[in-house]
Amino acid sequence: MSSLLLFDIDGTMLRAYGAGSRAMMRAAVEVLGERCHGAKINIGGALDPWIFEELARHGGYSIDAAAHSAFRERYTVRLIEELDAADKPAQAMPGVLELLGALREQPHVTLGMLTGNYPQTGAYKLRRVGIDPTWFSPIAWGDSAPSRPGLVRAALAQSPAHQPCDVIIIGDTPRDVHCALENGARCLAVGTGDHSLEELRAAGAHEVVADLSDASVLHAMLRAGR
């Protein structure tokens, strides 16, 4: 049986230096209103539709499917602008391109993705840093389930040959760790986001690495899973 790797995007495969957050705030203010400003939202590992709901809740705005749809469209436009205008361009995290290239050659590895991003904007971010979203299957996007643990089940539903024990979540936040633990999967946590290795270990990550330039820990997890 192959292992199913589910890679997170932001803070794990790439960093965009806040372009996503800035674009979301601009889109929310344009679609809902100025009262979205000042919202304190823990966005690390959160699902994009939930972030939109939190922005609306902060501003006291009622939302419906039409508002959400308008937000998604506006966010896509603003994200492209923010990425184009940024002083620091989005970039792949250390070792990620090399690791993905190597994993794609491995017969006992299924390369998948699990992310809070909307599909369109998530795919756009990846392409900006030279990662092709079509390398990944299954993919659980931020609108595939109402919660991050639910995304694991959404990915498994697309890949019926795999069990939760075959899954390794690779992510940078305690939410990545928790979604693995809640589903009986393993988690390799990476310190390239906003959380320290100690925090990620304390959250229950099975293994932690500073970044993905040293793939030996992941390869050991793959061997142990077979």
Return the closest-CA partner of residue 222 out of 18, 5, 41.
5
Site stretch for Mg ion (CB under 5 A), options 74-82, 124-132, 141-149, 168-176 = 168-176
- Residues in the interface with Mg ion (CB under 5 A) total 4
Return the closest-CA partner of residue 219 out of 95, 116, 64.
95
Q: Is 201 exposed, middle or buried (0-12, 13-18, 19+ CB in 10 A)?
A: middle
172 touching Mg ion, by CB under 5 A: yes
Q: Is 18 exposed, middle or buried (0-12, 13-18, 19+ CB in 10 A)?
A: exposed
CB of 30 to Mg ion, least distance (A): 25
- By residue count, the chain amounts to 226
Per residue in 108-128, is it b (16+ CB within 10 Å) or e — as a string?
ebbbbbbbbbbbebbbbbbeb
Site stretch for Mg ion (CB under 5 A), options 7-15, 64-72, 81-89, 122-130 = 7-15
Q: Cβ closer to Mg ion: 44 or 106?
A: 44
Of 6, 11, 51, 117, the one binding Mg ion by CB under 5 A: 11
CB of 81 to Mg ion, least distance (A): 22
Q: Copy the structure tokens of residue 150.
A: 């639910």
Task: Tell me the C-alpha distance between 153 and 133, whole Å.
Answer: 20
122 touching Mg ion, by CB under 5 A: no
In eight-state DSSP terms, residue 10 is: B
Of 8, 54, 82, 207, the one binding Mg ion by CB under 5 A: 8
Q: Cβ closer to Mg ion: 16 or 156?
A: 16
Of 4, 5, 7, 10, the one binding Mg ion by CB under 5 A: 10
CB of 123 to Mg ion, least distance (A): 16
CB of 190 to Mg ion, least distance (A): 9
Q: Cβ closer to Mg ion: 10 or 166?
A: 10
Task: Tell me the C-alpha distance between 186 and 96, whole Å.
Answer: 19
CB of 187 to Mg ion, least distance (A): 12
Query: Tell me, what amino acid is at 168?
Result: I
Return the closest-CA partner of residue 112 out of 146, 150, 147, 159.
159
CB of 42 to Mg ion, least distance (A): 12
Q: Tell me which residues in 45-104 interact with Mg ion (CB under 5 A).
A: none
Q: Which residues bind Mg ion (CB under 5 A)?
A: 8, 10-11, 172
